[in-house]
Structure 1
């Protein structure tokens, strides 16, 4: 029987689309902040990071469910080489293949555009503290973002830049898919659908992933079974 993971493994690829799409009834960050219970204190690797160009605050105690913490798990794709990244949008999980038996799993939040694209792409490049370059199609919907267009060089890195501390860029057949894995997720967003972005990670986690990622590795985004219903800001 053809499962959704077998479907991806067979190389099925959906149409490429940008990390932006209008849709009704966005789920906002404020809504996620009020929706989750308190959890145990997080591990020490979620402490503040002070040796970056911009400060990264510690994750406050009780903000993340333990199953969403960064952790080593059994590799469910033992035939994939080390460095392969698997994104499961519906489970809000990202896996980095370490060996035939182990993977590092990260909890993520998934923006509207994170459900729009599926298939296997290439990790073309990575950026530390990337600029946010707003596509022209988004500026047509949100003219106030025009100062951050590609032509104007984008938004400078740092606090307030929605790309966060790191970003991974996916290309397919030499073409930018506009699908991004990036930082700046709020702790309470993890495991949830949010109103903006592609795949958003805690800055602590996206730094960890960035430093381990393998240039040119496959990044497979599993098909989503969730209906569209979010508005993407970036």
Structure 2
């Protein structure tokens, strides 16, 4: 499996790709230009249930920005491939193309690898710490019935819930209230993206999509 970053990125106007539609990838769905308007890509989102401020693109390292890349894989179109070593998530588009998102991954001792499915999706989800998390940090007991959605919620603006053999494995692909953690190994095993990127990914991913988590 190999990937090569294209020189041009995605414009903010590139919206959901119909992954369940025709098998031919229409690159017209991904407008490109000599200079990508990343300020627009990560601009404020006032229409959200909880309005999201713009990200300062000057503080987003180039490798952390959402981008269309060349990507050779045997995985089918619509699959999410997460490389926890390099801290990238790839949405396979077919025709040797993928959308690449920078992610935060599990810190040492909390990472996971294998295959799963997207069981369901939630906008502005509640967050409920696991029993193990509460044992490690008793202060989280206040949220054992769940933390209400909002900008301070650790799951951020969207979440994809993963199933292994039809059973919730408690790993999530989600937004974050700590954008500085994207590109690092800081979570309890879940995969986190900028809120802007998880909103984009959420619109493109279908329930029951394949998820592959690998370390190399």
In 1, the alpha carbon distance for the partners of 2:109 and 2:61 equals: 21
Task: Could you list the structure 1 runs, at least 4 aligned residues long, displaced by more than 4 angstroms after superposition.
Answer: none
CA contact (8 A) 2:108 2:185 kept: no
Contact 1:117-1:221 at 8 Å conserved across structures: yes
TM-score (norm 2): 0.77
- 1:179/1:129 CA distance change after superposition, 3 Å: same
Pairs within 5 Å for 1:29-68: 42-68=38-64
CA shift for structure 1 position 44:
1.2
- Which residue of structure 1 lines up, in the alignment, with residue 135 of structure 2? 140
Is 2:157 aligned against 1:162? no
Instruction: Summarize the alignment of residues 9-48 of structure 1 with structure 2, pairs less than 5 Å apart.
Output: 42-48=38-44
Q: Do 2:110 and 2:189's aligned partners in 1 also have CA atoms closer than 8 Å?
A: no
Could you say what secondary structure the match of 2:119 adopts?
strand
* TM-score, length basis structure 1: 0.72
Query: Does 2:213 align with 1:221?
Result: yes
Question: By how many angstroms is 1:158 displaced?
Answer: 0.3
Give the conservation status (yes or no) of the 8 Å contact 1:48–1:59.
yes
For residues 193 and 84 of structure 1, what CA distance do their matches in structure 2 show?
23
Unaligned runs of 5+ in 2: 2-35
* Aligned-pair CA distance for 1:221: 0.2
Q: CA deviation at 1:115?
A: 5.2
Q: Determine if contact 2:160/2:172 at 8 Å carries over to the other structure.
A: yes
Give the C-alpha shift of residue 137 in structure 1.
2.1
Match of 1:92 among 83, 87, 97: 87
Whole-angstrom distance in 1 between the partners of 2:185 and 2:81? 18
1:57-78 deviation digits (Å, cap 9, x = unpaired): 100141111122101001221x
8 Å Cα contact 1:64-1:187 kept in structure 2:
no
How many residues were matched structurally? 182
Is the CA contact 2:110–2:188 (under 8 Å) kept in the aligned structure 1? no
Residue 113 of structure 1: how far off its partner (Å): 7.4
| Stretches of structure 1 lacking an aligned partner (at least 5 in a row) | 6-39, 225-234
CA distance in 2, matches of 1:205, 1:90: 20
Contact 1:113–1:198 (Cα < 8 Å) also in 2? no
For the aligned residue pairs, the C-alpha RMSD in angstroms reads 2.1
Quote the residue 1:35 is aligned against: none
Q: CA deviation at 1:196?
A: 4.7
